[in-house]
Structure 1
Amino acid sequence: MDDDPSASYIHMVHHLIEKCIIFNMTKEECLEALSKHANIEPVITSTVWNELEKENKEFFEAYKKKRRDVTTKKGSSSETTDFNLLGSRDTTSSLSG
């Protein structure tokens, strides 16, 4: 599987989505961030996100509930910090090993 470039790419997108989740981002915020910072087409991010949701229903239900609770307390969740998701772009090298 590691030799397949498309599998490696999907794995990288998966990893970056996990980073978005750590930053408590919505799916839409994640699509925008990966498009802007990693030049990943939103349709790719959306497809990988949807597959992750299918495979991890309980996690995403809890995640969405947590986000709703946080949003209710803060008032608005549309505030996104502009940051470089890829850092020093070492993400791909850690995935190819």
Structure 2
Amino acid sequence: MASSAPVSRSYVDMVHHLIERCLLMMMTLEECMDALAKHAQIDPIFTKTVWTELEKANKELFSAYNSSQKKRVFQSSHKKSS
């Protein structure tokens, strides 16, 4: 998608839905951007923009999600060093 082209509400809604699916799979922002670029041909910058807007609108949810992500990364790295 060209960055200068107007974006329809339905396209934003579709990306929003796909991001929610990424969240259910406990993906990081980077993993989500990569997956949507690869499987849905969505510009990573657009994915990041929609993700950021979702974070602003759902601060408590993303605060808990980000904490969960940090714990997951810590536990994963801890298991590897054991």
Q: How does the TM-score come out when normalised to structure 2? A: 0.83
Residue matched to 1:44 = 46
- Compare relative contact order (CA 8 Å, sep 6+) and give the higher one, 1 or 2: 1
1:70, distance to aligned residue in structure 2 (A): 1.2
CA distance in 2, matches of 1:68, 1:52: 19
Q: 5+ unaligned residues in a row in structure 2: which ranges?
A: 1-6
CA distance in 1, matches of 2:40, 2:67: 28
1:73, distance to aligned residue in structure 2 (A): 1.0
Residue matched to 2:21 = 19
After superposition, what is the alpha-carbon deviation per residue over 1:13-61, rounded to whole angstroms, capped at 9, x for unaligned? 0000001001101001100100000000111101100000000011101
Residue matched to 1:32 = 34
Percent identity over paired residues: 51
Q: How does the TM-score come out when normalised to structure 1? A: 0.71
CA distance in 2, matches of 1:56, 1:18: 12
Q: 5+ unaligned residues in a row in structure 1: which ranges?
A: 77-97
Query: Residues 52-67 of structure 1: matches in 2 within 5 Å?
Result: 52-67=54-69
What's the Cα RMSD here? Answer: 1.4
Structure 1 segments of 4 or more deviating over 2 A? Answer: none
Q: How many residues align?
A: 72
